Amino acid sequence: MAIYAIGDVQGCCDELESLLARLRVDPDRDELWFVGDLVNRGPRSLDTLRLVRNLGKLATVVLGNHDLHLIALAFGNRSRAKARELSDVLDAPDGPQLVDWLRHRPLAYYRPELNTLMVHAGVPPQWDPLLT
| pLDDT value of residue 116 | 93
| Regions of the chain where pLDDT drops below 70 | none
pLDDT of 127 reads 82
Report pLDDT for 3. Answer: 98
Res 123: pLDDT: 85
What is the pTM for the complete model shown? Answer: 0.92
User: If you average pLDDT over every residue of the chain, what do you get?
Assistant: 94
SS (H, E, C) the chain: CCEEEECCCCCCHHHHHHHHHHHCCCCCCCEEEEECCCCCCCCCHHHHHHHHHHCHHHEEEECCHHHHHHHHHHCCCCCHHHCHHHHHHHHCCCHHHHHHHHHCCCCEEEEHHHCEEEECCCCCCCCCCCCC
pLDDT of residue 66: 96
The pLDDT value recorded for residue 8 is: 98
Q: Which domains does the chain have, with CATH numbers?
A: 3-119 (3.60.21.10)
Q: What is the pLDDT of residue 85?
A: 83
